[in-house]
Structure 1
Amino acid sequence: MAFQKKNKLGFTSSQPFDKDPVCFKVLPGVKGKLKNIPNWQERLRQAVDKLIEEQCD
């Protein structure tokens, strides 16, 4: 089955992401707790942006 152009069922974003993810290790149990937080990925992206802004000032 070929991919349909302008497919609205898959992941969509108004902001394109870098094709290479940032990965880091966490303490045991943190990954499971993190996945239970609603909208954790977007919230983590915002926290990283804030951290970068604080370090660049």
Structure 2
Amino acid sequence: MPFQKNHKLGFTSDTPLDKDPICFKVKPGVKDKLRSVPNWQELLREYVDQLIIGQKGSDG
């Protein structure tokens, strides 16, 4: 059964996210360990933002 419009269940975010995910391979066992970390997706998004900001600072 599909979700009804304006439903209150499922993923929500304060900021819009890109519709296409970034995918990358990790060493065996890392995926399961990462998924055991609470709020891992948001933490990873924040880390990627910091990584990009740090990269911009070293360009000049």
TM-score normalized by structure 1? Answer: 0.87
Match of 1:28 in 2: 28
Q: CA RMSD in A?
A: 1.3
Percent of aligned positions with the same letter in both sequences?
Answer: 65
Deviation at 1:32, TM superposition (A): 0.5
- What does 1:32-51 align with in structure 2 at a 5 Å threshold? 32-51=32-51
Deviates more, 1:8-17 or 1:40-49: 8-17
1-structure distance, mates of 2:30, 2:56: 28
1-structure distance, mates of 2:2, 2:54: 45
1-structure distance, mates of 2:37, 2:52: 23
Give structure 2 stretches of 5+ with no counterpart. Answer: none
Which residue identity does 1:31 align to in structure 2? K
Name the count of aligned residue pairs. 57
Give structure 1 stretches of 5+ with no counterpart. Answer: none
